[in-house]
Structures are given as C-alpha cells and as structure tokens.
Amino acid sequence: MKNTWNRREFLQKTSAATLAAMAAGAPVSSLLSGCGRSRKPGETNGTADTVILLWMAGGMAHTETFDPKRYTPFSKGMEGNSVLSTFKSVPTVLDGIHFSEGLQQIGKVMDKGTLIRSYVAADLGHILHSRHQYHWHTCYEPPQTVAAPHIGSWIAKELGPKNPVIPAFIDIGQRFTVGEAEELKAFHTAGFLGNEFGPFFIPDPTQGLESVRPPVGMDAKRFERRNQLYNELISKGPMGEFGSDYQKESLRRSMEQAYQLLNSPEAKAFDLSQEPKASYDTYNTGKFGLGCLLARRLTEQGARFISVTTEYEPFMGWDTHENGHTRLEEMKRQIDAPIAQLIKDLDKTGHLDRTLIVLASEFSRDMMVEGRPDAKVQEQVPQPDILSDLKFYGMHRHFTDGCSILMFGGGIKKGFVYGKTADERPCKTIENPVRIDGIHQTIYHALGIAPDTHYDVEKRPFYTTPDGLGKPVLDLLA
C-alpha cells in the first residue's frame, strides 16, 4: 500500500521512532547507576590491553581439533560407537601434545599459548546454537529480563577506546541474513550499557574500508553537513527534550568517533589492499582468514576488542549435522594458517605481549551423545548405530561436557595445557572443569577489570558475571 504521509506527519512519525529508540537503546540515569570500578576509562593495571576473540561458530568438536582421541578410519558397516576421532593425530611443538590432522600450523605456535581441554558448556535444556552462543558471549543464560551486554561491550565501557579514532568493539564476519537473525542480534549488543558501546560491524573484511567511508554519492562536505545536522537534531529533537544527559552525550560521541575515523590516517588499516601480497595470500583462506588479517591490522592501530567469526549459519561451517569428516577438512583449511600467522605476526611486532587472543566455540560435538552423559537431551540428528554411508562419519551431535579453548598472549602462560577429558566415549571432562564465568573473569582479570564490576539496573546490581560470583582461573596466567 502506498504511503500518503505529508511532511508534518513524517516528522511526527520519526519523532515517535526516536522516543522508542531512546527507551530501548541507551539507559537513562534513573535506570543505570553505580559501578564497581575505580579506574578511569582507558586505564588498565592488567597484563593485556586488547582482546581478539576467534569465534568458531556452530560447535567445534574437541575430538576432531585440539583434543584428538583414538583414530578409526571409515569402513562401510562399522559401528558408530567405535569412532572417537575421524582424523589422525599429529604432534605439536609441545612434547606429548597432539592436535587433529589439519591443524599443524596452529600446533607449531602452541609454545606461545595455553590449551584448555576442559571447558564445560551449560545445561540449557534443548540445545540451540543461539542460546549457547548468547550464554558464551554474555555469561548469562537466556532469556533475561535485562538486556545483557556482550563481553566486548563490557570491555569497551570499562576501558574505553585504546585509540580514540578506532571503535572500541569491532565485530568481523557475522551477517544477520543467513538464519536465526533475531536470535544472533540478541547478544551482538551492548544491552543496557547503551549503543555507544555496541559492536562496529564489518560483515565482510574485504569491504572493511567501505565501513568507514561515507555512503556512495556522499562527498566529505555533505557528510560534514550531515554531522552538523545530526547534532542539531540531538539538541532540538525529542532526544534533546526528553533524553538524559547520558543518552545525548553517548549519541554525540558515537557520531564524533565515526567522523574522526573517516578523516584519520588510521582508516587505512581497514583497507586490506594495502597489505603486501605475500602476507595477504597467507591469510587468504576465505572470509575468516582475511578477518584475522584485518584484526591484526586493527590491533596494530589500537583496537580494544575484536571478534572474528567463522560465522554461524545453520547447517553450515562447524554446524556439522552430516558429512562431519569431510566438512571439517574444509573448516580446518580455513582457520589453520591464518590463526598461526596472526600469532606469529603479533609476536614479531611485540603486540602479542599485550594482546589476549581467545579461540572458542559454543560447545563440542560427538557422534553418539547429545548433551552430556548424565544430562542427555532430545536427539536432533539421526545417527545410525551402523555406518553405511560416509555422510554419517563425523561428529554430528551437540556435546557439552568437554570442549577446547585456546588462549595466547596478554599474560597467558606459554606452552601450557590445562584440564583433561576421558580417552573413551563419552570423552567428557575429568580434570579441572572450566565454565563460562571463569573464562570471562580470566579475560577481565588480564585486562585489569575488577571482578565485582557492576551497574545498578532498575535498582538491582548487574555484574559482569552472574551475581558477581565468577572467579578467574589464575592457573592460566603467567
């Protein structure tokens, strides 16, 4: 149906929309107050200044990656329960520590980091990727009555930008047009902290420069006029009349940061065409690999928190509901060389000392067990006891009782292995279990963010971890 609004009606509608955005976006002073930190933004007394999260979206099987078990090659008619790993194990630089075949390059840099083999994902009932991803990124189980901030937003809020012209929280590689869009958007947000601390999205790293340029057809002068108009709208529109000082200042800072970045030399960091060809080719295993390259370039320019994802798309990537073995061959090719090169490059320039790199996934996978042995959930994938076809050869069910996480730099121990899983099915955690609040608090501890950091939302304290009870895993820190 064709709209017949006149100018007055249009302005009324947009004013109403602005008020709605005010209510849903940034918090007002009456709702958000109090904080458990005593530092000024930008100050740290930890061992890291920057975090890079390498997110293996979709459920990366620990027994097929960083915690291999007994290898059993495929043969038609074999028993599914006999298969623990579908790849051979290969040695790493650490004595006695093996990775799954296809991850040799990462294995060669493990003397620079820590391998956690005992991450235990939460019991959230019927296993859904978006629920567990929400839990991992926010540390809170969905649903919540309060919009929980992403860990990157907490860090952006507490420490501020490391370089004032580089967005404090940058998200590389995730689109919202590939399935479960609303569920994914629910945790890609600053929640009650306000939009200023939300992610700066770069869905495609090859188009990173376009993210910091004016829209097509808009020159710099027109962009500057729009910036002036934007500030006038903040002052004279509904935001100026009804918004809190916090909201108005947050919006102004957001626009000013974008304007500063547009006119800064640091904008070149977003342009991958500036990278030497040999380096570009090493990282160019696909979108994720180039995302690692962009993360390296932005880290060198003073980024605070960067997430690079293989991207969650239902039944794609690590979401191996069938053809698990053949699918993982491709996934390993995408991540092995660029992650190893990222570690080596940052180490060579000295940035790794103050950059904490975390590689993780929402949960693991197993061929036969859905959930965990003592808390099985509804099976979502048909997996025959006898394998008659190669498509059944692989880890197709969601497993939450044993997952691997890698950590490098930023004060993390070097050449260290923490935790252990059983060598036979179910390959569950049997030593030093680690849960998400421990991971989050370890990251915060490395950054110098106090464990009791919180804000009062609707007169109740909301902590970085539930009830402020999370404890850092100090054994991981040098």
Read off the pLDDT of residues 34-92 as tens digits, 9 standing for 90 and up.
554 545 555 568 999 999 999 999 999 999 999 999 999 999 999 999 999 999 999 99
Question: Is 255 a residue whose pLDDT tops 60?
Answer: no
Two tokens, residue 269: 């960091």
What's the confidence (pLDDT) of residue 209?
80
Cα torsion for 176, 177, 181, 187, to the nearest 10°? -10
Question: Is 417 a residue whose pLDDT tops 50?
Answer: yes
pLDDT tens digits for range 362-378? 999 999 999 988 887 88
Structure confidence at residue 458 as a pLDDT band (50, 70, 90) = confident
Q: Where are the domains of the chain?
A: 40-128+140-207+271-322+346-476, 209-270
pLDDT tens digits for range 110-148? 999 999 999 999 988 778 899 999 999 999 999 999 999
pLDDT tens digits for range 171-195? 999 999 998 999 999 999 999 998 8
* Phi, psi values for residue 141, rounded to 5°: -80, 130
What pTM does this model have?
Answer: 0.87
**What's the CATH number for 40-128+140-207+271-322+346-476?**
3.40.720
Distance, in Å, from the CA atom of 257 to the CA atom of 234, rounded to the nearest integer, reads 16
Q: Which residues of 204-235 are buried (b: 16+ CB within 10 A; e: fewer)?
A: ebbebbebbbbeeeeeeeebeeeeeebbeebe
Question: Is 202 a residue whose pLDDT tops 60?
Answer: yes
Question: Is 396 a residue whose pLDDT tops 90?
Answer: yes
* Phi, psi values for residue 366, rounded to 5°: -140, 160
pLDDT averaged over every residue in the chain = 87
More confident residue, 301 or 15: 301
Distance, in Å, from the CA atom of 166 to the CA atom of 302, rounded to the nearest integer, reads 7
Q: What share of the chain in percent tops pLDDT 90? A: 72
